Structure 1
């Protein structure tokens, strides 16, 4: 009887001291906004997916943080410029991540004139500035829910209206090394016309100005050192 009590006590203590599953707690909303925006920033493509399934089109995606002119940015909001390219389309959008009610709000808007913005992510950060007048007022919104190691968002079943009278229902998962997205496009009559999931994976980070300047400085220093060596070599030959 005493042995049974000892065994029971040992079992209870082991459960209390060594729980079988660690409980994950969600970070603060402000931290979530910064984290998901950081995960979304960089150069991406779906080449790995295309290798496994050649019927999927190859798409490149460049995402970088941008500033609004005249300090029009809303507090605790992360603004990202997105540029996607493939052989059949080009998509440029303005993404805003902000704090919602226990979730991260994602607002996606188009540009009035996107032609002047192509290649924006190749510019230094201080030059990546967008006029708010060039951003459309209508938006397509999603709510992103935090889960360990990912953020999941959807606007099903209503989706967002298209210019042709149909709608787009979006499902997206943000990972620390990529984005899985599915945009289901429905025609005005309700027929599903696009239903291809895309698996983007990061291939490079967006260079920061200090990094770019460091490379330039290293290049200048290297050229100067080489030139100095040549001059010294010639002077010893005279």
Structure 2
């Protein structure tokens, strides 16, 4: 009888602990916390090499994301700015990603640069010198809402998407998790015909460290070696611009 009571008590304690943990896992954090967390998850060195192992037809894309300061803006504003630099044999893409509070979601605003030459390679600089001039950021932005789920942030801007400078429409789906970013950009022409819809599965290969001479050379060496084949192909291919989150 004593053993039965102990067993029942153990079951009750275990069940209570499980319920408490489940409740803790489903409590939505404050929006400010969400902004900081998703921006942190978004920073780092990524590529889709794992995806290519199973889908050789998908192009290799490397992505360097690092936190930056935007001058002439309020430093106390609850906005986290991340510079993004993507490279592939067929294109290059440089963007400013700004994460901010928007009611019950995180607003992601994506901006192009007027002069990309002034920001290219920005993640190779120390954090204190990663500054973007607001005068170099285009006024038109592409926006989507990111909604918190346990262990991830999910968003899309369907059905309207964003209109590109050449008249195309880009409808984006994105899932951001710690160490991974999955994106799908559906590109439509002016007649709403679907042109491209290739999912890209980015996985983090390195965090963005504070560069020292030794560490900077090490990271650069790893990154350069990984992209040697891609660089050779790139020299034979004219760079075009597209929209991949």
TM-score (norm. length: structure 2): 0.78
Gaps of 5+ in 1: 1-8, 217-238
What does 1:1-238 correspond to in 2, within 5 Å? 17=16, 22-23=22-23, 24-73=26-75, 75-209=77-211, 212=212
How many pairs are equivalent? 206
Q: Distance in 1 between matches of 2:92 and 2:201?
A: 17
State the 1:189 CA deviation: 1.1
Higher relative contact order (CA 8 A, sep 6+): 2
List alignment gaps of at least 5 residues for structure 2: 1-7, 217-245
RMSD of aligned alpha carbons: 2.3
Give SS of 2:99's match: strand
SS at match of 1:110: strand
| Cα distance in 2 for residues equivalent to 1:128 and 1:16 | 50
Q: Which moved more, 1:169-178 or 1:18-27?
A: 18-27
- Report how far residue 68 of structure 1 moved: 1.5
- Which of these two proteins has the greater Rg computed from alpha carbons? 1
Q: Give the match's secondary structure for 1:33.
A: helix
TM-score norm. by structure 1 comes to: 0.80
- 1:53-89 Cα offsets, whole Å, 9 max, x none, are 0000000000000011245446111000000000000
How far apart, CA to CA, are the structure 2 residues paired with 1:48 and 1:158?
Answer: 31
Alpha-carbon distance in 2 for matches of 1:205, 1:18: 34
The structure carrying a bigger strand percent of its residues is 2
